[in-house]
Amino acid sequence: MLNLYIDFDGVIMNTIDVTYKMMEKSNIDFKDSEKCIKFYETLDWEKILKESSAINDSWDCIGKIINSKKFNVAILTHVNSLEEIIQKVKVIREHFRDITIIPVPKAISKTEMLKAEGAVLVDDYVHNLVEWEQAGGYSIRFDLDMDGKGYPVIDRLDVLIDMLD
């Protein structure tokens, strides 16, 4: 079975939109990386996840992917704090009792957490896709405008079932 890793922020839930709005509200300059890191480390993830919503029926789509029995599915998500892990796991467990969840500290590459070779990563962040491909994996971009930036692109997760036949 193919190993399929699905990103969380910007793929399963629109948490990025919510955090960007919060940054704008608190007048944080997106270019000030030190302030951005601090901001992300101290975020109230329970609140963010409550204000976020699923992207294009993502939970249903993941259910369909699991039921297709074609893939070993795991959620592979960058995190900035332990609290972020706790809250993300809580939300994911409301939908799936036993899906594998792999939190990756923001400071390191997703490819350093597991073997990317021969595995698929679905991610909205191009930098992650580049690293994944360099490590021998197969990268698919998730983008609501269907802009693949050089990668195969999807805007809802259940199309993976036929795409990766």
Q: Which residues bind Mg ion (CB under 5 A)?
A: 7, 9-10, 124-125
Instruction: Compare residues 1 and 107 and give the one whose CB is closer to Mg ion.
Output: 107
Shortest CB 8 distance to Mg ion, Å = 7
Rounded Cα distance between 121 and 132, Å, is 7
CB-wise, 10 or 63, nearer to Mg ion?
10
In the complex with Mg ion, the residue whose CB is nearer, 70 or 133, is 133
Chain residue whose CB lies nearest Mg ion? 10
Q: What is the three-state SS of 137-163?
A: CEEEEECCCCCCCCCCEECCHHHHHHH
Is the Cβ of residue 65 or residue 122 nearer to Mg ion in the bound state?
A: 122
What is the residue whose two structure tokens read 């990756």? 104
**Strand, coil or helix: what is 9?**
strand
Closest among 115, 52, 113 to 79, alpha carbons compared: 113
Identify the three-state secondary structure at position 101.
strand
Three-class SS state of 48 = helix
Shortest Å, Cβ 63 to Mg ion: 20
Q: Which of 46, 51, 52, 39 is nearest to 8 (CA)?
A: 52
Min. distance of Cβ 128 from Mg ion in angstroms? 7
Tokens of 134: 């360099």
- Give the span between the Cα atoms of 21 and 17, in whole angstroms: 6
Nearer to Mg ion, 13 or 65 (CB): 13
Instruction: Give min distance, CB of 142 to Mg ion, in A.
Output: 8
Please report how close the Cβ of residue 141 comes to Mg ion at its closest, in angstroms.
10
